Amino acid sequence: GSGPFPTELFDESGDWLRSRGFEFGTTTGRPRRVGWYDAPITRYATRINGITDLVLTKLDILGGLEQIPVCVAYDVDGVRFDDLPVNQTDFHHAKPILEYYPGWSEDISTARTFDDLPQNAQDYVLALEKMSGTRISVIGVGPARDQVIVRHNLID
């Protein structure tokens, strides 16, 4: 889509994420839009849609970053919004307010339990959970189907 995307990256960070995460259209090969985790929009989406669990994919591509930015609020013309701005015009002009979390250098592709993750990766996931107000039940740690950590069974 072409709608507002406050955390969208247009610089070398975006190129790095896109390349590392293979974020290109399957048939067109066009580069997909990428950005940092956006906590306010995740909170909004979980609230209005009644979402009880989240699946966090591609945690493995963040490995190697010294710091991982997370959007915790927006700045719209000098005014801080901790939640989604009230109207589309404001949201279109929103600039992300970022907090930084320590990264990790370990390869997490063989992790199969939450405790297998490096402490910084665990702390990052727990921070996202707290910010979203919704539990993260499944974490993708690689491209293969079996490269997941199931924290909470979604079927029961």
Any domain includes 14: no
Any domain includes 9: no
Segment 112-134 mean pLDDT: 97
Any domain includes 47: yes
pLDDT given for residue 138 in this prediction: 98
Instruction: Say if strands 67-76 and 148-150 run parallel, antiparallel, or are unpaired.
Output: unpaired
pLDDT (tens digit, 9 = 90+) per residue, 38-65? 999 999 999 999 999 999 999 999 999 9
Any domain includes 15: no
Any domain includes 156: no
Whether this prediction's pTM lies above 0.85 is answered by: yes
d(CA 53, CA 37): 16
Any domain includes 143: yes
Residue 90: pLDDT band by 50, 70, 90 thresholds? confident
Whether residue 6 contacts residue 72, with contact meaning beta carbons closer than 8 Å, is answered with no
Sheet with 148-150: strands ordered across: 53-56, 135-140, 148-150
| Full domain range(s) for residue 48 | 36-150
Number of domains composing the chain: 1
Say which residue the tokens 């901790």 belong to: 82
Which residues, other chains included, contact 16 with Cβ-Cβ below 8 Å and sequence gap of 6+? none
pLDDT (tens digit, 9 = 90+) per residue, 3-30? 889 999 999 999 999 999 999 999 999 9
Q: What residue spans of the chain are helical by DSSP H?
A: 12-20, 39-49, 88-92, 119-132
Look at 145 and 92; give whichever has higher pLDDT.
145
79: part of which helix (H) or strand (E)? strand 79-81
In this structure, what CATH number is given to the domain that contains residue 90? 3.90.170.10
